[in-house]
Structure 1
Amino acid sequence: MSSVPAVKKKRSRKGEPPLPRRDEAWIGGFFSLRAFVREGDDAYRPEAVVWMTDRGLVLSCTTLRPGDVVACAVDSFESTAREPREGEPGLPARVRVASPALADALRARLGPGVDVRVAPTPEIDAVAEDLEAHLGAGDGGPSPSFLGGGIEAPAMASFFRAAAALHRAAPWEAVPSDTDILSLSIPSLGARDLALCVLGQAGQGHGVLLFESARGFELHLAALEAPRDRPPTSLPAGFFSLSFDRASDLHPALRAEVAEQRWELVGPDAVPTLAMVDEDLLGRKPTPQELTASEALALGLVELMKRRDELAQAFRGGAPVEASYVVETHGGPVEVMFRAPHPERG
């Protein structure tokens, strides 16, 4: 899936004949696809809107960019009524949806002529599972790669150099705990007071996690610490991950690519891997802008590690450490700003 078509909005116009009423029931709903779409420097999970009959006939399935999915679902309902995939045009007598917001919007648009009810829609869940299975059938395509999506080899080589320098700087030896967070701002990219968590104090799992806010980090931490019988399938906040992984844990195609490109590594147990992870624990590759931010983050942390003693004091209750650096990335100079500890935790 390389692009997502927009929903065509078709509303009743003067002079357009009214749709006939049919004694049938429709079921509708929307859900987020468990796959990412890339458009330029943007990556997102599209929404899907489905309308079907209670006999299991799918009348329409439309994908769209995240946004006002309720309004788009109502537009999709009207489009489907006028041009269904199967059968004759017409409005159903009854509609069942799981979303109260969608039900309210349908009632406001359709009036009392259609009975709109709120109730579970397991039929839509089944369509979602079938669609996911269909999309997953394409996994036998191209081998995984660090490149693509607008990211070329010179940019990735520059990031690997920065990541190697970060591994040598060993920030996990300077930040006392993985619950101690720093603030990171990159003004040119619109990033302000992100919450930066350093991992690896126990000698394994080296890397950093980045959250949109200290609150997001707190929610993430609480979810991980909650007692449960099995690993979580979702978390309350998405995050960015820069981890250093063993080469043996990577897909063979990725290992071959690193060797072929001769990207800089500290060692076979320190291959830098980037992932943008959402609340459903789905990870995706970075966009070109995110790769630039990742390189800037790594280079900035290398500079900040020159103040290790001050950092240790700051996390023990001493004066906060504030620092600003202009680092040279493959995309040009980028200013990165740190504060330790994070102002919402200090």
Structure 2
Amino acid sequence: MAPPRHQPRGFGPTSSGVWEIGMARMPGSVPGDDGEPVRPLLALVMDGSGRIRATALGAPERSSQALEEALQEALHHPPNDVQPGSPEQVVVPNARLLEELRPLLPGVAITVGPTPRLDDAMALLREHVPVQGKPGDDQVMRTYLTADVTPEVVAGFFEAAAALYERTPWHVIPSDGHLFQVSSTALGIRGWTGCVIGQNRESYGVILFDSITAYERYVQLAEYAEQEGGRPSGGLPRQRAINYEARAVMPARLLKEIGTHHWPVAKGDAYPTVMLIEPDLELATPTRADLRRLEGVARALVQWIDDIPDLPRRWQGPEVLRKRYRVSLQGEVVSVTIGVACEAPVGESPERKERVPAAMQAKVDALMQSIDGFCDRHLNAEYRQLILAAVCALARKRPSPLLGGREPSWCAGVVHAVGMANFLFDKTQTPHCKAPEIYGAFGVSAQTGQAHSKKVRDLLKISVFDPKWTLPSRLDDSPMAWMLQVDGYMVDIRTMPLDIQVQACAKGLIPYVPALRRDGPATPD
């Protein structure tokens, strides 16, 4: 499961004349015309400079009304610092919206295509647009004391979460693909499958699924959404998560509640939050039982980490490590069994995991066997990891383009594509080599190598300065990794105050906090 990636916002076509328009169902509920709760639709209009021109909420059965309302606002009454007027072109995410917009924007070119700025804005608005409905819909964001949860129950959860954070499990467990399983009859837990996130210093926590099958389905859906350029819209497996947030991004009301009850927080600005995600993407209201289960898992993980000094090695080899511990929950002692769930994929590095469909594994192995020799002679381990990522990404395409064409052609194309993104052909760089050396090493013509390189770059959207395809050692010098949209304007986040940098890093928008890196390597605490 890949953790969230940092993505520069506001890039692509910068003309304010190109608008992105979309609609999405909100996560909360509001009373409908008959008094029953319904989930409203959000219509959003964004111009090419990344500014939101208008939003409107509407009932699901009257989606066109919300769309028309948002469009009229965007045309005639945009925010004060935005000029009224019509777009030169509109991009929408699906054909249905295209048909609805045509009569509303006569003479304007409307096309179906990627809407990256719109997708990011929709995600943020889903988090922050307030909706009122049945009890519990919005309590998750306002208080820890939901349902039958008491301050004493929250105190136990905070204590266990702080102890776990202090063990820095993301430094102990090599990757979020090294899974563990946990069971407890007393807590009603049977074979939950968990993973620890934070190895990439983007976000920290523990995510729990009902089973290994549920985890694998989550990974498949996440990969499909990434390939299709969208987000999973529903049908995701149920998830339970302990997340650690920095104080700077915590709502003031929650900080006040924590201070009032003196709940313990780990050193390092680590405030634990609970997230219970249902298959329809609704956020469930945590109950006393939910908090006790999460506390039990956290306490078992603490004992497991303390008890097994060579824990990272236990995912290697045929033996299955499983231990039973006695944990105390508000004075009650219960048994929790925890152990290794499965072996991480062979050949992965802890820094970056790459999954491949079983049917494509032999093809990937064959390509990398040829590429590894070239990397040994001309490149380095960093290049090899990026090239492996590209090969695996191509293998996950459906159908995979690797099934057609000669293997040497794909080898040359992938190496050339990744090399172009990192200025491999510039003799002032280390390492460096010329394009003809790549073609010659794999026995292909320049025309074939260039053609396959273009295919790879087009399929994977590889470009110069793209943080995803930049060597980690060169991220410091990559302007695209640090350009973000703040208050409607593009800025280099490295020039912003520390608290802004911390928030951006916590949201996964940048790879680390630049201000802290200047004084030494960034750490989670």
Normalising to structure 2: TM-score of the pair? 0.40
The 3 A distance-change label for structure 1 pair 248 and 187 is: same
For residues 146 and 165 of structure 2, what CA distance do their matches in structure 1 show? Answer: 25
Structure 2 contact 181–338 (Cα < 8 Å) conserved = yes
- Aligned counterpart, 1:247: 247
Offset of 1:170 from its aligned partner?
Answer: 1.7
5 Å-filtered alignment, 1:236-275, equals 236-267=236-267, 269-275=269-275
- Aligned counterpart, 1:304: 304
Provide the secondary structure at the position in 2 that maps to 1:220. Answer: helix
5 Å-filtered alignment, 1:1-346, equals 35=28, 125-126=61-62, 136-137=131-132, 144-226=142-224, 227-267=227-267, 269-330=269-330, 332-342=332-342
- Greater helix proportion: 2
Provide the secondary structure at the position in 2 that maps to 1:337. Answer: strand
- Aligned counterpart, 1:103: none
Structure 1 contact 176–315 (Cα < 8 Å) conserved = no
Identity of aligned residues (%): 24
For residues 163 and 61 of structure 1, what CA distance do their matches in structure 2 show? Answer: 40
AA matched with 2:303:
E
The 3 A distance-change label for structure 1 pair 308 and 176 is: farther
For residues 158 and 281 of structure 1, what CA distance do their matches in structure 2 show? Answer: 27
Structure 1 contact 195–342 (Cα < 8 Å) conserved = no
Structure 2 contact 146–286 (Cα < 8 Å) conserved = no
- Aligned counterpart, 1:9: none
Structure 1 contact 220–235 (Cα < 8 Å) conserved = no
> Root-mean-square deviation (CA), in Å?
3.8
AA matched with 2:191:
D
The 3 A distance-change label for structure 1 pair 279 and 334 is: same
Structure 1 contact 313–319 (Cα < 8 Å) conserved = no
Offset of 1:260 from its aligned partner?
Answer: 2.1
292-301 vs 280-289, which moves further = 280-289
The C-alpha deviation readout for 1:240-274, integer Å capped at 9, x for no partner, is 01111112212110011112222111136310111
For residues 142 and 193 of structure 1, what CA distance do their matches in structure 2 show? Answer: 26
Structure 1 contact 145–254 (Cα < 8 Å) conserved = yes
The 3 A distance-change label for structure 1 pair 173 and 33 is: closer
For residues 141 and 273 of structure 2, what CA distance do their matches in structure 1 show? Answer: 16
For residues 313 and 293 of structure 1, what CA distance do their matches in structure 2 show? Answer: 27
Q: How many residues align?
A: 235
For residues 345 and 215 of structure 1, what CA distance do their matches in structure 2 show? Answer: 16
For residues 142 and 234 of structure 1, what CA distance do their matches in structure 2 show? Answer: 20
Offset of 1:318 from its aligned partner?
Answer: 4.9
For residues 338 and 344 of structure 2, what CA distance do their matches in structure 1 show? Answer: 13
Offset of 1:278 from its aligned partner?
Answer: 1.2
The 3 A distance-change label for structure 1 pair 288 and 343 is: farther
Offset of 1:310 from its aligned partner?
Answer: 4.0
AA matched with 2:220:
A
For residues 147 and 247 of structure 1, what CA distance do their matches in structure 2 show? Answer: 19
- Aligned counterpart, 2:368: none
270-279 vs 184-193, which moves further = 184-193
- Greater strand proportion: 1
Structure 2 contact 143–253 (Cα < 8 Å) conserved = yes
The 3 A distance-change label for structure 1 pair 141 and 240 is: closer
For residues 328 and 288 of structure 1, what CA distance do their matches in structure 2 show? Answer: 15
Q: Structure 2 unaligned runs (5+)?
A: 1-24, 38-58, 67-129, 347-525
Provide the secondary structure at the position in 2 that maps to 1:201. Answer: coil
For residues 140 and 165 of structure 1, what CA distance do their matches in structure 2 show? Answer: 29
The 3 A distance-change label for structure 1 pair 33 and 325 is: same
Structure 2 contact 236–281 (Cα < 8 Å) conserved = no
The C-alpha deviation readout for 1:141-185, integer Å capped at 9, x for no partner, is 998111131111111111111110000112222211101211110
Normalising to structure 1: TM-score of the pair? 0.59
The 3 A distance-change label for structure 1 pair 174 and 158 is: same
The C-alpha deviation readout for 1:285-323, integer Å capped at 9, x for no partner, is 311011111111111100000244442222122522110
AA matched with 2:131:
G
